[in-house]
Amino acid sequence: MFKGSNVALVTPFKNDKLDDETYIKLIHFHIKNGTNGLVPAGTTGESPTLSHGEHERVIELCVKESDGKLPVFAGTGSNSTEEAISLTTHAEKIGANGALIVTPYYNKPTQEGLYQHYKAINDKCGIPIIIYNIPGRSVIDMSVETMARLYELKNIIGVKDATGDLKRVDLTLKVLGKDFIQLTGNDDNALEFNKKGGVGAISVTANIAPKLCSEFQKFSVMKDEKSISEAVKLDNILQPIHHSMFVESNPSPVKYAAKLLNLCEDDVRLPLVKVTDPTKEIIKKALQSAKLI
């Protein structure tokens, strides 16, 4: 159910308020342009600065507007286990297909703490859970052994791996098997990630290049020479965009790119700020190289 190009949806703002109208347009933009799945209220959706009401609202809008056309895996993680349970059970109640739950940030739990955190959420809900392992933001790194323990629970189905370590794909496949879903959280390593056994990405770039990203993902999991060649070609087109999306803190660059494409404004919430002029030029050149503008 959850593979290919899945967009880590930006959250548009107007006058520092959630812009429902634009958000709905973005959802339908992805339905029409080949995106395989929607991930609202993640890091790219600025979840740290959404109020609880806004967090629930963007998930509700995503579920309602996608109307079963695309799976919705809602970002429902927190460094508070009770808060994560609350967000996850809400997502389940309103019809989300699953939850993307980040490893608890700042607290620095042990591997046992990580296990108990996810087990507590698992035990309170009935929808699939994808672990979001991102040591660069959370500080802690979930081990493959801990993931294997969690995979024994009823709702844990896979991982969004943002470690950047491609060796982890091999090890995870060896220990947990091919049915454990592996998605990359790093657009720039998606080609090699899928070659090693991954089945897709939760993508920042898909916000602005959904057709290119979905086509790339389609070809990247095929084994014939023609498909592999096409995947490499698309990857070469996408790499400058991937790079430009992280010259400054995500999601400021992707929101500026979205503004250039008339998808939404580039407003972000403090402590994030809009990108600088030099970064704007890098983003423009990347979009031009891919013939998006």
Instruction: Name 11's Cβ contacts closer than 8 Å, sequence gap at least 6.
Output: 18, 23, 40, 41, 45, 46, 50, 54, 58
**Cα separation, 243 vs 3, whole angstroms:** 23
Cis before 251? omega within 30: yes
| Ramachandran area for residue 99 (φ above 0: left; ψ -120 to 50: alpha; else beta) | beta
CA–CA distances in Å: residue 198 to residues 19, 108, 280: 34, 27, 32
DSSP H helices, 33-110, are 52-66, 81-94
109-142 in b/e form (b: 16+ CB < 10 A) is beeebbbebbbebbebbebbbbbbbbeeebebbb
Tokens of 48: 């740290």
Kindly state the tokens that stand for 8: 């880590």
Neighbour count for residue 150 (Cβ, 10 Å): 22
Please choose, from the candidates 147, 145, 177, the residue with its C-alpha nearest in 3D space to the C-alpha of residue 161: 147
Judge whether 253 and 244 are in contact, CB under 8 Å. Answer: yes
Beta partners for residue 132, in sequence order: 102, 160
Known catalytic membership, residue 17: no
Q: Does the annotation count 132 as an active-site position?
A: yes
- The pair of structure tokens assigned to 63 is 């579920």
Question: Residues 3, 23, 151, 160: which is the catalytic one?
Answer: 160
The H or E element spanning position 114 is helix 111-124
Catalytic residue chosen out of the listed positions 132, 151, 259, 280? 132
Task: Provide the annotated active-site residues.
Answer: 132, 160
